[in-house]
């Protein structure tokens, strides 16, 4: 479920992709890694997601837009539909909880979730009360959305953000925050 086409013209950033892989495989437990920077973090995460899909066809790859609570919730609805989760069509279905439960179940296999544009703490840690489509109907709205980001040994979460503080709050381990700096001159010339 990568909502972007593969960019075959993407060059460089192999050092960052290797660092993500190292951090992801270094721990036998759940891993959270964040890419922080103003430019190119998004494209690095897309490339990494495609690499995971290609190297491990049995690993689920999910993409969650996290610019605001409504987009986060829509991404979880899309995941529930893709997985054909029982109960998702019920009028009072707690979709984030259904997806969370599925992700925590080791029987469902390995997964990688990219949480893109995780720039604002309030999206994850506040009791969201913003208005918008379906928001008033959601039974889980009083629960901070960070609660639905699992810490399961069979999965990993890759955050992208411009906000260092927000990512440290989500990752909880400063060593797992990778700063995406402007391209090296060699990589820039290769474009």
Q: In CATH, what is the architecture of 21-179?
A: 3-Layer(aba) Sandwich (3.40)
Averaged pLDDT score across all residues of the chain: 85
- CB 109, CB 59: distance < 8 Å: yes
Residue 132's pLDDT is what? 44
Task: Looking at mean pLDDT, say which of 1-15, 28-42, 66-80, 133-147 comes out highest.
Answer: 66-80
Distance between CA atoms of residues 30 and 56, nearest Å = 18
Give the pLDDT mean for 32-40: 88
Q: Check residue 29 and give its pLDDT.
A: 81
Instruction: Tell me if 53 sits within 8 A of 2, measured CB to CB.
Output: yes
């Amino acid at each position: 479920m990568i909502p972007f086409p593969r960019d075959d013209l993407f060059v460089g950033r192999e050092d960052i992709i290797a660092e993500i892989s190292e951090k992801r495989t270094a721990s036998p437990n759940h891993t959270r890694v964040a890419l922080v920077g103003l430019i190119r973090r998004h494209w690095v995460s897309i490339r990494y997601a495609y690499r995971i899909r290609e190297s491990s066809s049995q690993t689920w790859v999910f993409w969650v837009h996290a610019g605001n609570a409504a987009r986060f919730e829509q991404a979880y609805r899309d995941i529930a539909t893709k997985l054909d989760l029982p109960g998702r069509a019920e009028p009072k279905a707690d979709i984030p909880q259904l997806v969370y439960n599925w992700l925590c179940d080791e029987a469902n296999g390995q997964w990688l979730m990219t949480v893109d544009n995780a720039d604002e703490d309030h999206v994850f840690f506040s009791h969201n009360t913003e208005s918008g489509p379906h928001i008033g109907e959601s039974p889980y709205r009083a629960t901070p959305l960070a609660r639905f980001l699992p810490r399961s040994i069979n999965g990993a979460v890759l955050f992208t953000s411009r906000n260092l503080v927000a990512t440290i709050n989500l990752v909880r381990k400063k060593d797992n925050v990778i700063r995406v700096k402007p391209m090296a001159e060699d990589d820039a010339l290769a474009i």
